[in-house]
Amino acid sequence: MNAQISTFTVIGVYESNGQLFVTHSHGTSGEHAMQLVARKLNDDGIVADFVVAIKGAHFEGQSLFFPGEGLVSGDAILELQEEGDE
């Protein structure tokens, strides 16, 4: 049986600076898409940790929102909400 190739949005964190990244990859599953991205980054000498692969092409400012360039605490998110509620 041939597995169908799909587009996945892969989200991860660069180990060197903690910055989040979003990229797109084609794969037969989310795991496969992440493996392909990990291989490419590794070939480029980049080490990253992976968070998720979401089926489909998602883009920052459209279907993805990031509150910062790296991980953001829940307290900081609550502060954003409070400022927006004023």
Among 13, 10, 39, 30, which Cα is nearest to 22's? 10
What tokens appear for 29 in the block?
Answer: 């599953």
Three-class secondary structure of residue 72 per DSSP: coil
Phi, psi dihedral angles at 26 (to 5 degrees): -100, 135
What's the predicted TM-score (pTM) here? 0.85
Q: Could you report the per-residue pLDDT of 25-71, keeping only the tens digit for each?
A: 999 999 999 999 999 999 999 999 999 999 999 999 999 999 889 99
Domain ranges of the chain: 6-85
**How far, in Å, CA of 9 to CA of 64, rounded?**
10
